[in-house]
Amino acid sequence: MNGINACPRCQAPLGDDRLGSVRVYPCAACGGLALTVSQLRRLADKETFYPFWAAIRSAPPALLACPSCDRPMSAADVSGVEVDGCVRCTVIWLDAGEQEQLFSLPPPTPKATQVADQLIAREQVAATRQRRRQQDALDTTQRLLELLLWWAW
Ligand SMILES: [Zn+2]
Ligand SMILES: [Zn+2]
């Protein structure tokens, strides 16, 4: 594992926090949470944890990139909740609210030092959204061109 870096949802830098004695990496921008499998095993009861990890291990890779190695994480459906994890790095990603839904865990409380990060993160989210909008516009142009070519034939 290379350490846990950016949020897979919004690319904001992840915080470094604790839920009880367990180390977690929350995203101040989207409320998601990264943590390692060994840390999650300490937090969750085993009836919840083992099927959860088994589902991720047998799931195919999906869209979200691992916050540690940047490769696509596996996405599994666990009790109707889509969860992501990297089997190589044994890193789990939980979107906002999923830790409560799946493991009855409270969200971590952001530290004072993270307030500044949060502001930066928000700006980065806005920048990412802007890029996405530009990409959408490009995709639309591309589709129109394809249609025109099709008509020309
Ligand atoms: Zn995020
Ligand atoms: Zn990984």
Ligand in nearest proximity to the CA of 125: 1
Integer Cα distance of 153 and 97 in angstroms: 51
Mean pLDDT of the chain: 87
Distance 129 CA to ligand 2 centre (A): 24
The H or E element that residue 42 is part of is helix 37-43
Distance 143 CA to ligand 1 centre (A): 30
State pLDDT tens for residues 40-69: 999 888 888 999 999 999 999 999 999 999
Integer Cα distance of 68 and 73 in angstroms: 10
**DSSP, residue by residue, 99-146:** HHHHH-PPPPPPPTHHHHHHHHHHHHHHHHHHHHHHHHHHHHHHHHHH
Residue type, 153: W
Q: What is the pLDDT of residue 113?
A: 58
Distance 94 CA to ligand 2 centre (A): 14
Distance 60 CA to ligand 1 centre (A): 22
State the pTM of this model.
Answer: 0.69
Q: What is the pLDDT of residue 94?
A: 94
Cα torsion angle, 13, 5, 25, 103, sign: positive
Distance 49 CA to ligand 1 centre (A): 23
Q: Which of 89, 91, 72, 87 is nearest to 32 (CA)?
A: 91
Distance 11 CA to ligand 2 centre (A): 15
Ligand in nearest proximity to the CA of 92: 2
CB 27 within 8 A of CB 10: yes
pLDDT values of the chain reduced to their tens digit, one per residue, 153 residues: 668 989 999 999 999 998 888 899 999 999 999 999 999 999 888 888 999 999 999 999 999 999 999 999 999 998 888 999 999 999 999 999 898 888 887 766 666 556 667 777 777 788 888 888 888 888 888 888 888 888 776
Ligand in nearest proximity to the CA of 37: 2
